[in-house]
Structure 1
Amino acid sequence: MARLHLTFECQGARCGATLDNAPGTTGLLVVSGGNEIRAGAFNGQAHLAAQIATAGFPVFRFDRRGIGDSEGENRGFRKSRSDIAAALLAFRAIAPQVQRVVGFGNCDASSALMLAGGAGCDALILSNPWTIEDGEDDSPPPSAIRSRYLEKLKNPRELIRLISGQVDLKKLARGLLKAGRTQGTPSSLAEEMRQGLESFDGRSAILLAEADRTAQVFAERWDADDARMARCPGADHAYSSAEAQLWLRQQILATLRSQRVK
C-alpha cells in the first residue's frame, strides 16, 4: 500500500486529496463531514483508509472547497455535490484500474451523498446521517430519552441520587416531558435526503452508532423497517472504541466486496 498526496480542480479551486493505493478494481471515496479535514477526527479517517487499502481496496479522501488544504469558499454540505463529483473524477483518473466506487460519509457527509443522489458513486455507505435543521434543538429524541431513563432506573446509584436530592428536579421534569412525546420533530431535510436516495439505483447501507444522538434523531425520522439499516451497539458518533472501529471496518469491507467486478 502506498500513500500519495495530490490536488485536483473543482470549478477553478485547487483541492487537496490523498490516495491510499491498492490493486483492487473497487475503491472507496471518503467524504468528510462538517468542516472536518480529510484525515478525520484524531486521524481516524487516515487510519481507516490505510486499513481498507491493506485489504486490497484503494481509498481516496479529499478536503471540500474552503476546508483544510483546499481553496475556494466553504459552501457547506448541502452544496457539496460538485466537490464530490470532482473528487470522484480525480479518483478514477489517478487510479485507472478502479471500475466501481463506493461512497462513504459520516454525519452530514452521508447527508450530502443522499442529497446528491449518490453523486456518481456505484454504491453508498451512509453513517449517522444528519437530519437536524439549522437552529433546531439537537437533543436526543423521545425514544432515546426513554431508553436512558429506563437504564437509570435499573441503576441503584441513580435511585440513591434521586432519593437524596442530588438530582435537578427541574431538569428531570423537562426530560420526562420530552420523553412522553410520541415522536420527534419532522424534518424537511430528511425528506430531501429520502428523495435523493430514492433516485439512486445502487446498493446502499445505512450505519447507525446507537449511542450517537445524530443517529438517534435520524432513526426517529426514517422508516424503522428499512432493511438497509445496521446498528452498532454502544458506539459513539466517531466509532472511537476498538470494537466499534472493527464493526465499521467490517461493514465497509462487506460493501466493497459486494461491488467487486467479476
Structure 2
Amino acid sequence: MSERAVVFRVGEEELLGILHPGAEGARRGVLIAVGGPQYRVGSHRQFLLLARHLAAQGIPVFRFDFRGMGDATGRQRDYEEVHEDMSAAMDTFTQQVPDLREVVIWGLCGAASAGLFYAWRDTRVAGLVLANPWVRTDEGLARAYLKTYYLKRLFSREFWVGVLRGRFNPWTSVQSLARMTGAALCSRGTQGDSSNPEAPRADLGNGPLPDRMAEGWRRFDGPILVILSGDDLTAAEFRDVATAAPAWKGLLAEPRVTLRELPQANHTFSRREWRDRVAAWTQDWVQTAPNRGAT
C-alpha cells in the first residue's frame, strides 16, 4: 500500500498527516512528532525518509503537522501545548491501521520533550524514541557552551595562532567566558526555563523543565531509546542534565533504556550516513523492544 494524506481535526482546526501503512497486519507502529518550527517532512527530508525506511521494513508510520505548523490550521503551539494534537494523531493512526495495538512516539528536540509529557497518559504508547531531547535552561546552556565550545577553543592550536597573529581579541573571549561561567555556576533551576511560563505543565508540577521531563520519564513505564549527537549543544545539555541533575539520578541507567550516540553528528543528523544509522537503530529497536510494563 502506498503512503497517503489524512486530514483530521482538533476542535475546529484541521491537521494533516501522512500515513505510511507498512505491512498488513502490523501491530506496532511509529508516530513521528515534529519539534520546533518545522513541518512533517523534517529538515533535509529527515522525517519523510525515516518513515519510508520503516514502512519498507513493514512498520506503519504516521507523521503529521501540529496546529499552526505546515498545512495545519490554528495558532502555533510549543511542545507543552500539543497534548490534544498528539491524542488526535494517535486516534487517527489507530483508526487508519485497524490491527495496530502499540505505537512508538519518535521525537527530535522539542518533540522528544512533548513525547515525555504525553506518553505516560496514553496506554497505547508502547515506547519512546528521544533524539537530542530539549531540556533548555539558561544555566544548562551556559554549561554546555563551556564544555563543548570554550574548552575546545582553549586547546585549539588554531585559536592560539589567531591570538598571536591578532585575528582574535583574547580579552573579548575572556569576557565571554566569564559571563558563561557565571551563568553556569547558578543553582540548577533557579533561572527557570525558556518555555512559555503560561503553558500548561502536563500535571507534572511547575518546576524547571528538566525536572518536569524527569517526572514524565518516571511516570512512563515503557522502553525508551535515546539517540544523541556528538556535535550538538542540545544533546550536550541533555547529557549534563541526565548525568548530574538530582531529578535525573539513575534514570538513564535504567534497564529499559537504550542509549545510542553518534559522536560526529549534528542536531538533525544531516549527513546520509548519520540519517541511515538513526533509521537502522530505530528499526531494530522498534522491532525488538519489550512491551510496555514488561521492562
Q: TM-score, normalised by structure 2?
A: 0.79
**Contact 1:142/1:183 (CA < 8 Å) preserved in 2?**
no
Is structure 2 residue 209 aligned with structure 1 residue 189?
Answer: yes
Q: Which residue of 2 aligns with 1:170?
A: 171
1:76-225 to 2 correspondences below 5 Å: 76-118=78-120, 120=122, 121-133=125-137, 138=141, 140-149=144-153, 152=156, 155=157, 157-177=158-178, 178=180, 186-187=188-189, 188-223=208-243
Q: Give the Å deviation of 1:181.
A: 8.2
1-side partners of 2:149 and 2:85: how far apart? Answer: 37
Report the CA distance shift for 1:180/1:65 in structure 2 as closer, same or farther (over 3 A).
Answer: closer
Structure 1: gaps of 5 or more residues: none
2-side partners of 1:245 and 1:80: how far apart? Answer: 26
Report the CA distance shift for 1:55/1:185 in structure 2 as closer, same or farther (over 3 A).
Answer: farther
2-side partners of 1:56 and 1:6: how far apart? Answer: 20
Letter of the structure 2 residue corresponding to residue 33 of structure 1: G
Deviation by residue 1:221-261 (Cα, 9 ceiling, x = unmatched): 12366233322111111100122112211221122112488
Letter of the structure 2 residue corresponding to residue 169 of structure 1: P
Q: Which stretch of the first structure deviates more once superposed, 187-196 or 173-182?
A: 173-182
Is structure 2 residue 42 aligned with structure 1 residue 40?
Answer: yes
Structure 2: gaps of 5 or more residues: 190-207, 245-249
Is structure 2 residue 271 aligned with structure 1 residue 241?
Answer: yes
**Contact 1:26/1:259 (CA < 8 Å) preserved in 2?**
no
Letter of the structure 2 residue corresponding to residue 205 of structure 1: L
Q: Give the Å deviation of 1:147.
A: 4.5
Deviation by residue 1:35-88 (Cα, 9 ceiling, x = unmatched): 211111122211111111111111100101111111223222111111111101
Q: May I ask how many residue pairs the two structures share in their alignment?
A: 257
How many percent of aligned residue pairs carry the same amino acid? 25
2-side partners of 1:145 and 1:179: how far apart? Answer: 12
1-side partners of 2:277 and 2:187: how far apart? Answer: 30
2-side partners of 1:138 and 1:246: how far apart? Answer: 29
Report the CA distance shift for 1:60/1:211 in structure 2 as closer, same or farther (over 3 A).
Answer: same
Q: Give the Å deviation of 1:193.
A: 0.5
2-side partners of 1:235 and 1:202: how far apart? Answer: 27
Deviation by residue 1:151-199 (Cα, 9 ceiling, x = unmatched): 51xx4x4432222121221332135434698768624101001101110
Q: Give the Å deviation of 1:214.
A: 0.9
2-side partners of 1:110 and 1:126: how far apart? Answer: 5
| Aligned-residue RMSD, C-alpha | 2.5
**Contact 1:210/1:235 (CA < 8 Å) preserved in 2?**
yes
Letter of the structure 2 residue corresponding to residue 18 of structure 1: I
2-side partners of 1:16 and 1:92: how far apart? Answer: 15
2-side partners of 1:75 and 1:222: how far apart? Answer: 26
2-side partners of 1:185 and 1:143: how far apart? Answer: 17
Q: Which residue of 2 aligns with 1:258?
A: 288
Report the CA distance shift for 1:96/1:259 in structure 2 as closer, same or farther (over 3 A).
Answer: farther
Q: TM-score, normalised by structure 1?
A: 0.88
Q: Which stretch of the first structure deviates more once superposed, 179-188 or 22-31?
A: 179-188
1-side partners of 2:78 and 2:217: how far apart? Answer: 19
Report the CA distance shift for 1:142/1:238 in structure 2 as closer, same or farther (over 3 A).
Answer: same
